[in-house]
Structure 1
């Protein structure tokens, strides 16, 4: 569990893992984000290079993908990184 959320993966998803990503969010104070707003990157350097806070794109370490109780595929934000 992360912050009280179950990390029960969707049946078609094989593994919930920590990864670096660029996430599109309107504000930094988020715990989780829908999968369609997450672009997985090869490493932190690549995530930092592709972040653009002026356009709500932030480098982050995420955990996922996971299925929410509402049936959405989510990533949990573990850490945000500043440019």
Structure 2
């Protein structure tokens, strides 16, 4: 359970796991983002290097993917490094 959400991985996925990513979000106060707005990267340094806050791309630690109740694949934001 993450931030009160139950993670229900895609049927073909073994489990939802924590990873570093660059996420595109319209506002910093988001706790989940569509999978299409997430680019998984190797580590935090890579996420920071690829971030572009002026265009709303932020480095983050995410967990997922998980299917929402609406059937959309989502990633949940564990840490958002918006102040780097």
Scaled by the length of structure 1, the TM-score of the pair is 0.95
Displacement of 1:2 in angstroms is 1.2
Paired position in structure 1 for 2:5: 5
- Runs of 4+ in structure 1 displaced over 2 angstroms? none
Unaligned runs of 5+ in 2: none
CA positional deviation for 1:14? 2.1
Q: Please report how far the alpha carbon of residue 18 of structure 1 lies from its aligned counterpart in structure 2 after TM superposition.
A: 0.5
- Structure 1, gaps ≥5 residues long: none
Q: How far apart, CA to CA, are the structure 2 residues paired with 1:48 and 1:14?
A: 28
TM-score by length of 2: 0.94
- CA offset at residue 63 of structure 1? 0.6
Q: Take 1:52 and 1:20, find their aligned partners in 2: how far apart are those partners?
A: 15
- Please give the per-residue CA displacement for 1:2-25, whole angstroms capped at 9, x wherever unaligned: 122110111022221000000000
C-alpha RMSD of the superposition: 0.8
